[in-house]
C-alpha cells in the first residue's frame, strides 16, 4: 500500500453545499467505506493556511488515489493536491541501493 497525502480547499462556488465539517467528514468516511473498501483512511485534519483539509490515506495505487481526489471534488472541494508519502525507513533503503 502507498501512503497518499491529500490537501484540499473548499469550493468558493458552492459555499452553501457544506453544512458542517462533521457532515463532510461523515460523507467522506461513508464513501470510502462503501466505494473504496481497499483504502485505509489514516487521518483527516482541518488546516489553517492555504488549504482547508489534510487527508492521509493508504491506497494500492495512484489511480485509486486520483478517484478519491475526484470524490473530494464531488463533496465540495474546489481544488486538491495529492502527494505520495514515503516512510523514512523505505527512503533509507533506496539511498543505500544507489
Q: What does the alpha-carbon distance between residue 98 and residue 72 come to, in Å, rounded to a whole number?
A: 37
Mean pLDDT of the chain: 88
pTM score: 0.84
More confident position, 16 or 3? 3
Q: Label the pairing between strands 40-46 and 53-59.
A: antiparallel
Question: Domain map of the chain by residue range?
Answer: 2-97
Identify whether the C-beta of residue 51 lies closer than 8 Å to the C-beta of residue 72.
no
List the beta bridge partners of residue 57.
4, 41
CATH number given to 2-97: 3.30.70.920
Q: pLDDT above 90 covers what percent of the chain?
A: 56
pLDDT in tens, 32-41: 999 999 999 9
Query: Distances in Å between the alpha carbon of 21 and those of 2, 38, 54, 63?
Result: 27, 25, 13, 27
Q: Is the pLDDT of residue 44 over 80?
A: yes
Q: Is the pLDDT of residue 30 over 70?
A: yes
Amino acid at each position: 500500500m502507498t501512503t497518499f497525502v491529500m490537501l484540499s480547499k473548499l469550493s468558493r462556488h458552492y459555499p452553501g453545499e457544506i453544512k458542517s465539517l462533521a457532515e463532510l467528514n461523515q460523507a467522506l468516511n461513508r464513501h470510502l467505506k462503501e466505494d473504496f473498501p481497499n483504502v485505509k483512511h489514516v487521518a483527516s485534519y482541518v488546516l489553517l493556511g492555504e488549504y482547508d483539509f489534510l487527508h492521509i490515506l493508504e491506497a494500492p495505487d495512484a489511480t485509486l488515489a486520483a478517484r478519491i481526489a475526484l470524490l473530494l471534488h464531488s463533496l465540495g472541494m474546489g481544488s486538491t493536491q495529492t502527494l505520495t508519502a514515503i516512510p523514512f525507513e523505505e527512503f533509507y533503503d533506496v539511498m543505500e541501493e544507489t
